[in-house]
Amino acid sequence: MSSGADMPIGIFDSGVGGLTVLHALREQLPKEDLIYLGDTARVPYGTKSPESVQRYAAHAAVWLTERGIKLLVVACNTASAVALDVLRRDLAPLPVIGVIEPGAAAAVAHSAAQRHLVLATEGTAARGAYTEAIRSLNKSATVEELGCSMFVAVAEEGWGGDPIATAVAEKYLASYRSRPASERPDTAILGCTHFPLVSDAIATALGPDITIVDSASTTAKAVAAELDARNLAASGDRTGSVRLVATDSAARFARVGSAFLGEPCTESDIELTDIHPLGGAADRTGA
């Protein structure tokens, strides 16, 4: 019989962006089995209402918990911003880790001036979850949140190194670079799982004095700490498995996902599924 420690970790995102978190988990926790669900049928979440994102996140979480997981990672900033509290409440005692608290902690740790700029989707920025998380760690920090959803499309197209990424970054960010030094943020948080793929363009547009912080590796550290605290870490001489599941278009998931994962994957590596928990017409019309 499998004990808790032998069970996989479940991870979900609206699409391929959370593969940056999966990559960090594999590096830091190589013994763990991982199931990654990308809700590619309903991406993007970042421009949807909080109610829709909460419903989608619940569907993804139920699909994963039905596979038997020991911990859930919400590897999507938008879903973490609007659905984390509900998921924690509904799935207790299952540990649920989002990407915002680890990202906020990393930013506070890196920032000398405690002037933070959060780059995120519209949905995440509107919720103000990063502001709340940063202020809970440092009451006097200043936080600005900027919705820049266009970066999602640029990253999805694999154009992170293209002049189009530079142009989009200039459009969103040039005004921060031209502020007086005392008003310029000193930390920019990549508050969207897609943004590590456009981080070079973001860094250039913001100028040299701003540190870019990404939540993938700090989220993996938070997962490792939670597993240790609950005695749930996989042990023994083993290498964990990775199962990649999408709700639409395995071919696109493989093509775009390879860049996020940092290694090639092919269409045959991706399983397709439907995550409507009730599976019936009533649920579909309500979605």
Of the pair 105, 192, the CB lying nearest ligand DGL is at 192
Q: Count the site residues for ligand DGL by CB under 6 A.
A: 17
Among residues 22, 23, 26, 45, the one that binds ligand DGL under rule CB under 6 A: 45
Q: Are 259 and 232 in contact (CB under 8 A)?
A: no
Q: Calculate the alpha carbon distances from 42 to 16, 54, 55, 83, 252 in Å.
A: 12, 13, 11, 16, 14
| 20 touches ligand DGL (CB under 6 A) | no
8 binds ligand DGL (CB under 6 A): no
The closest residue (CB) to ligand DGL is 46
Is 17 a binding residue for ligand DGL by CB under 6 A? The answer is: yes
Which amino acid, residue 191? G
Q: Minimum distance from CB of 194 to ligand DGL (Å)?
A: 5
Distance of CA 99 to the CA centre of its chain: 6
207 near 5, Cβ under 8 Å? no
* Residue in 7, 11, 22, 43 binding ligand DGL, rule: CB under 6 A: 43
Binding to ligand DGL, residues 128-167 (CB under 6 A): 152
Residue type at position 71: L
For ligand DGL, which residue of 22, 133, 192, 233 counts as binding (CB under 6 A)?
Answer: 192
Q: How far apart are CA 141 and CA 120, in angstroms?
A: 18
First to last CA, the chain: 37
Residues 6+ positions from 87 with CB-CB distance below 8 Å: 57, 58, 61, 72, 74, 96
| CB nearer ligand DGL, residue 59 or residue 194 | 194
What minimum distance in Å lies between the beta carbon of 141 and ligand DGL? 22
Give least dist CB 111 to ligand DGL, A: 21
| Residue ranges binding ligand DGL (CB under 6 A) | 13-15, 17, 43-46, 76-78, 121, 124, 152, 192-194
